Amino acid sequence: MRRFNKYIHQLPEWPGFFWTAGQLSTLLANVRHIQGRLLGKMEGIKFNLQSEATLEILTQDVLKSSEIEGEILSPDQVRSSIARRLGMDVAGLVPSDRNVDGVVEMTLDATQRYREELTEDRLFGWHAALFPAGRSGMHKIVVGNWRNNRKDDLMQVVSGAMGKEKVHYQAPDSDIVGLEMKRFLDWFNANQDIDPVLKAGIAQLWFVTIHPFEDGNGRIARAITDMQLARADANSQRFYSMSAQIRRERNSYYDSLENTQKGSLDITKWLHWFLDCFGNALTATDQTLVKVFQKAGFWDNLTDIALNERQKLMLNKLLDGFEGKFNSSKWAKIAKCSQDTAVRDIQDLVEKGILTKESAGGRSTSYTCSLSLLT
C-alpha cells in the first residue's frame, strides 16, 4: 500500500506538476483574448495616460498585496513612492515610510525589469526591502536569506486562537530550501513550452509551497507572478492588478491553495482558479481606470481643435479632479499668466464648447468640462 503523504512537496514525484490541457483550453483562450484586447486598447491612448494608468494599477497592486497579509499601507504614500521612482511629475506627493518604499521597490523591480533573470540575490534584495528593520511585527527574523528553522520549530501556516490552532500547511524543512529554490529558479528562468500565463500560475503555487522565507512569502510570490505576467504582456506598463483581484477573492484563493497543497501534483483545478482570477482582474480594469479612459476619450474628441499649452495644462488639472471652484483667478495663478489672459483662454474654450459656465455668475463665475466630451 502506498504511504499517504500530507503535502505535495512530500510526494516522490515532486515537483512534477501536470494538468489536463483540454479542461483549461477554452478558459485560457478567453482570458488571452481579453488580455490582448486590453493591451491593444491601452496602446491606443497617449503615453502620458498609459503612465497614469500604470501609476494607478501599481498603487492598487502594492496596497492590495499588503492588505492580503493584513498590513494596511497609506494610499498617498504608496502613490507618491511609485511616482517618484518612475520619475512622474504628479501633484500632491507626500513623504513615504521605509516600509512603503521597500514594497514599492520590490514591485517595480519585478515589473520594470521583468526581462532580467530572477536570482537568489535578487530575491534576497526583495526580502530585505520588505523588512528594512529586520523584524516582522515584534519579532526579529532572518532577512535577506532563506529561513533556517530548527527541527522543532516547523514552518507552518496556522489560523485560529491560541490552543485552537488549525494547521493549513507545513512547508519543507529549512535544510532543503536552498536546493528547492535552485530548482525553482532554474525552471523559472528557462524557456519552456508553457503558455506564459499558465507559467505565472504555476510559479505562484510552486514558490508559496516552498515557502523559502521566514515571512513575506505571499507578497514575494505575487511579485513573481506580476513579473511573469509582465513577460506574458511583453510590457513593463501595468494595466491590471492580479493582487487586487486576489484580495477580492481572498477566501477562494486560500481554499484553492490549501486544497492543492494537500492534493496530488495534478494542478488542473488550481490553474482553473488562477485563470478565472486573472480574467476577473482584466475585466475589473474598466472600473479601476475609468478616469484614465474618460480622459483618453476627452482628448480624442479634441484631436482637431487647436489649443495652447496653458489650456492643455488647465484642462488636465480639471480632468484630474480640481478641488473647489474652477475660475479665472485660479487659472491665472496655476498657469502663471495675467487675469486678462486667463479670461481669454477660458472664453475661447467656452466658445469651442469645451468648457461650460456654471449657473452662479458674477465674481463667482466658475467652469466645468462639457459633459458631452466626457462620454
pTM: 0.86
Q: Which residue from 334, 305, 294, 340 is spatially nearest to 317, judged by alpha carbons? A: 334
Catalytic residue of the set 9, 127, 211, 272: 211
Q: How many residues are given for the chain?
A: 375
Structural domains in the chain, CATH included, are 8-288 (1.10.3290.10), 302-373 (1.10.10.10)
Residue showing cell 512530500: 10
Per-residue pLDDT band for 32 (boundaries 50, 70, 90) equals very high
Higher pLDDT, 293 or 253: 253
Is it true that the peptide bond before 15 is cis, omega within 30 degrees of 0? yes
**Which positions ≥6 away from 146 have C-beta within 8 Å?**
174, 177, 178, 181, 212, 213
- Assigned C-alpha cell, 118: 530572477
Q: Is the pLDDT of residue 150 over 80?
A: no
Q: pLDDT tens for residues 165-221?
A: 788 888 999 999 999 999 999 999 998 899 999 999 999 999 999 999 999 999 999
Query: Using an 8 Å Cβ cutoff, are 184 and 224 in contact?
Result: no
**Which tops the pLDDT comparison, 374 or 131?**
131
Please state, rounded to an integer, the average pLDDT across all residues of the chain: 91
pLDDT tens for each residue of 50-101: 999 999 999 999 999 999 999 999 999 999 999 999 999 887 899 999 999 9
Structure confidence at residue 368 (pLDDT): 87
List residues forming the annotated binding site. 215-222, 253-254
SS3 for 136?
A: strand
Asked whether the beta carbons of 311 and 349 are under 8 A apart, the reply is: yes
At CB < 8 A and 24+ separation, what contacts does 78-82 make? 78/104, 79/55, 82/55, 82/58, 82/107, 82/108
% of the chain at pLDDT higher than 70: 95
Active site includes 139?
A: no
The binding site for ATP consists of 215-222, 253-254
